[in-house]
Structure 1
């Protein structure tokens, strides 16, 4: 009788057929082991790839997401000490901001900053720019300071009608950009984007506006912004590149002569009418620009001085360059002048700037008499 619990080895079949069966079983087992090994390797590679992607993704968004399982990162107790200026680049993530602040010595670690960044709902609104912070700040305080978006910057306003010299004086008086640096920058017209039609002369191309100057901005950066605004304004009003300089020359005359917006299109038309009939423009503002003196101080001798290329009494046509930097409304007046036959104009009240236009010499002389009466009544010549 066979023992039901006999040793398995004793139950192996014998003979040729039994030996072949055992060999097949061993080969099958070996194949199974190889398959299991290959599967293990594939799984390990897949997990490694997933882990790398997960780490990269986490590093990119760690400034926006908070990991509740992360250990607390090194942080300063605050409130901080010496002032430090730090630049936040355009498009910086929370991690990149933290890196910049860590390198500058503002926060103790990137991790502390990204944790604080994730916990502050306003952090996503931090704007690029230069900020004044403190060394050794608590990370949450650094984030709170940044979300205020109180950047270290200076605003400089250039009024309509300023000359280039006046623009440089204004910039130098309110920013760290010196006049010497501005003078040096205009000697390289291409670096500031000055178009070829300007002939290397910056006058008229520095658009009147308010500009924001960051600590790292230089003279070239600022002047390029001004020139760029002028080009954009001319393009926006449909001025062809070949006409840009003449439009700016005419607009600068209008800017310096006209006191009221309604007068600008009429004055632009009067100038065009004079040019069309080869009449000298006889504009005092141009004569004064060439002599670098106020228009109120001009003399009869000044209007006869042929050595002044800007003397529109003796030199016909437009002046050699613009005489100021015109604003949008003066440029528009030249592009779209009023309809009329005027060729004369004169202010009749020097306090208010009221100006009257005339078609004939007789009508003009009547307006001049009104001016003389006002001057006599107000103690002016």
Structure 2
């Protein structure tokens, strides 16, 4: 086997049982009783320390876990100077409120959270850098975030993503329609993909972080990615006639190698197999053509000669790239490490440790090492 296995999807947590809930209810009642006694003691202490107790009172909600009127204060508005605030990807309303509070946009996290929950359109808020105003009413801050008039967005494409995965990520971050990206990919010449790619944009969408402006389009963003790929290949003095081949090899290396130091060795093993007219037997290529994860491949998939990406049934390179490779994998494809390896296998699926062999017999020893690891970690 030559594919890099991936961990299975995370399972769902077990549901809570009724008897556990009743037990926890009793624990909560006991904790509230203790909390009440603690609050009385703390209030007495505040009376004794006089004015200095106000500072402690303002933090009672964090100390006692109760609502604090001081923390719910709000600015009257209309707001002051402009300020840029970064809303992280996946941020909750509370996390957004904390970012805005730290920046001086809202007077309290609780006021923002209440306004966030009261606005049904708050689910439309996208991550990125939003231009806000200092000392805004919380309700106005939520409304401005919902408008999504951002100073800039950052779209980050990881190495090894397929075109479909890139579209999914771009839609999530930019809010642009998926149909716009899909239409652009169906007209690759419109986004700058050369004729050598035979109408496929796969492999040409360079993984990087792109700044998205408010007026950017799907065509414009994908064109930037293609331009980055062509600029990189030009900078490395790769003849245009070789671009598609280099990207195909680099995509195989990208999906097969976890560690940077392994990638030039994988590239060499691929070259050695091609020179000897051996089938590449790369599971990640078969999986790409079958449209499924490599961990779900069956014997029938490996025997399916109708899949043009089946590198068990067809010798030579697949019809094109199977992913969009990063610069490290492109460099590996251009400069493979010297060696006689023809086999590689990942023997530890946690660390990604990969071992290389020159002979099939040695390779089988490493495969056995993988099987033993799987048995010990299943």
- Higher-RCO chain (CA-CA 8 Å, sequence separation at least 6): 2
Asked whether 1:300 is paired with 2:336, we answer no
1:79 deviates by 6.2
Q: d(CA) in 2 for partners of 1:163 and 1:131?
A: 29
5+ long unaligned stretches in structure 1: 1-77, 84-129, 135-149
Q: How does 1:99-110 map to 2 (within 5 A)?
A: none
1:80 deviates by 7.8
Is the 1:287–1:312 contact (alpha carbons within 8 Å) kept by the matching residues of 2? yes
Q: d(CA) in 1 for partners of 2:376 and 2:234?
A: 47
1:188 deviates by 2.4
Is the 2:207–2:324 contact (alpha carbons within 8 Å) kept by the matching residues of 1? yes
Q: d(CA) in 2 for partners of 1:212 and 1:235?
A: 23
Residues 285-304 of structure 1, C-alpha deviation per residue, up to 9 Å, x if partnerless? 00111111111111222111
1:288 matched residue in structure 2: 287
Is the 1:237–1:335 contact (alpha carbons within 8 Å) kept by the matching residues of 2? no
Is the 1:266–1:340 contact (alpha carbons within 8 Å) kept by the matching residues of 2? yes
1:187 deviates by 2.5
Q: d(CA) in 2 for partners of 1:212 and 1:247?
A: 27
2:319 matched residue in structure 1: 320
Residues 34-85 of structure 1, C-alpha deviation per residue, up to 9 Å, x if partnerless? xxxxxxxxxxxxxxxxxxxxxxxxxxxxxxxxxxxxxxxxxxxx9689x9xx
Asked whether 1:213 is paired with 2:212, we answer yes
1:132 deviates by 5.3
Q: d(CA) in 1 for partners of 2:262 and 2:156?
A: 24
Q: d(CA) in 1 for partners of 2:322 and 2:284?
A: 8
1:189 deviates by 2.2
Q: d(CA) in 2 for partners of 1:173 and 1:365?
A: 43
Q: d(CA) in 1 for partners of 2:350 and 2:79?
A: 56
Name the TM-score, length of structure 2 as normaliser.
0.61
Q: CA RMSD in A?
A: 2.1
Q: d(CA) in 2 for partners of 1:328 and 1:199?
A: 22
5+ long unaligned stretches in structure 2: 1-76, 83-128, 134-148
SS of structure 1 residue aligned to 2:345? strand
1:199 deviates by 1.3
2:23 matched residue in structure 1: none
Q: How does 1:336-375 map to 2 (within 5 A)?
A: 336-375=335-374
Q: d(CA) in 2 for partners of 1:176 and 1:349?
A: 39
The structure with the largest alpha-carbon Rg is: 1
1:374 deviates by 0.6
Q: d(CA) in 2 for partners of 1:369 and 1:221?
A: 49
Is the 1:192–1:220 contact (alpha carbons within 8 Å) kept by the matching residues of 2? yes
Is the 2:184–2:190 contact (alpha carbons within 8 Å) kept by the matching residues of 1? yes
1:204 matched residue in structure 2: 203
Is the 2:150–2:214 contact (alpha carbons within 8 Å) kept by the matching residues of 1? no
Q: d(CA) in 1 for partners of 2:317 and 2:154?
A: 34
Q: d(CA) in 2 for partners of 1:276 and 1:324?
A: 23
